[in-house]
Amino acid sequence: MRFAFIDAWREEWPVEFLCRVMQVTSRGYRAWRVRPMCQQQRDDMVILAHIRDQHRLSLQSYGRPRMTEESQELGLAVGHRRVGRLMRDNSIKIVRTRKVKATTDSNHTFNIAPNLLDQDFSADAPNQKWAGDISYIWTSEGWLYLAVILDLYSRRVIGWAVSNRMKRDLAIRALDMAVGLRQPPKGCIHHTDRGSAAADSTGRRNTPFYEV
């Protein structure tokens, strides 16, 4: 990749200067130019470009497993070993920070229903009031997101979902589990905050289950 960089900029800067900057020898560069690049090397260059892009977009938090998953979702036929080798050879490393991760975005344009719960978190029987929220956990491979649905009567977890990315389906999967487990009656309230990430499929704050 260093030789490829030099070759791309040799019309703008002297080759000797570029070799010093990239910490390679001019003899090695000349040998690289006369040696044809194999298909694997070409494929590595394409994969590496995607790895660098995902490394930047993830704020340098993606390790080998997560990076492999993202590359495969982009349609690249690549495995853990190849991704690990390219990251290692090109000094692409995780920057381990413990910054606060936002899980709620109240600045959105979704519909906001009235606050039916009105801070009354008590319940006289199961399946009267549910509460949902999203939390996050820092792991060696980056952030892991957890969506949970609680029955406010027993404070028992009745639905949950985990993902390495915080998308709308995370909250929906947790709610689907709770609905499948409890089959809530008409009038059961599902309450979340006003954040779009923790909202239901319509972005509403709390939803009476009149249709279930």
Residues 73 and 133 in one domain: no
Task: Tell whether 36 is covered by a domain.
Answer: yes
Q: What is the pLDDT of residue 178?
A: 92
For residues 79 and 68, the answer to whether their CB atoms sit within 8 Å is yes
Which residues span the domain enclosing 55?
2-89
Place of tokens 């289950």: 209
Q: What is the pLDDT of residue 77?
A: 86
Residues 12 and 81 in one domain: yes
The whole-angstrom distance between residue 95's C-alpha and the CA centroid of its chain comes to 15
Q: Quick one: average pLDDT of 140-166?
A: 83
pLDDT class of 96 with cuts at 50, 70, 90: low
Amino acid code (one letter) for 174: A
For residues 132 and 150, the answer to whether their CB atoms sit within 8 Å is yes
Residues 71 and 138 in one domain: no
The whole-angstrom distance between residue 141's C-alpha and the CA centroid of its chain comes to 11
Average pLDDT, the chain: 76
**pLDDT-wise least confident of 16-20, 73-77, 158-162, 191-195:** 191-195
Domain end point (choices 65, 89, 113): 89
Does the pLDDT at position 112 exceed 80?
A: no
Q: What is the pLDDT of residue 27?
A: 79
Does the pLDDT at position 50 exceed 70?
A: yes
> Alpha helices of the chain — where are they, by DSSP H?
2-9, 15-22, 26-34, 39-57, 64-73, 80-89, 168-182
Task: Tell whether 41 is covered by a domain.
Answer: yes
pLDDT class of 158 with cuts at 50, 70, 90: very high
Q: Which residue has the higher pLDDT, 58 or 200?
A: 58
Report pLDDT digits (tens) over 168-198.
Answer: 788 889 999 999 999 988 888 888 765 544 3
Task: Tell whether 138 is covered by a domain.
Answer: yes
Backbone φ and ψ for 143, nearest 5 degrees, come out as -80, 140
Residues 69 and 141 in one domain: no
Domain end point (choices 38, 60, 89): 89
Listing from the earlier edge strand, what are the strands of the sheet with 142-151? 156-163, 142-151, 129-139, 189-191, 206-208
Q: What is the pLDDT of residue 196?
A: 46
Q: What is the pLDDT of residue 201?
A: 35
Task: Tell whether 105 is covered by a domain.
Answer: no
Residues 200 and 152 in one domain: yes
Residues 140 and 74 in one domain: no
Q: Which residue has the higher pLDDT, 103 or 55?
A: 55
Rounded to two decimals, the pTM is: 0.43
Task: Tell whether 156 is covered by a domain.
Answer: yes
Task: Tell whether 115 is covered by a domain.
Answer: no
Q: What is the pLDDT of residue 177?
A: 92
Task: Tell whether 146 is covered by a domain.
Answer: yes
Domain end point (choices 89, 120, 146): 89
Residues 80 and 147 in one domain: no
Q: What is the pLDDT of residue 101?
A: 52
Structural domains in the chain (count): 2
Does the pLDDT at position 12 exceed 60?
A: yes
Q: Quick one: average pLDDT of 41-63?
A: 82
Task: Tell whether 106 is covered by a domain.
Answer: no
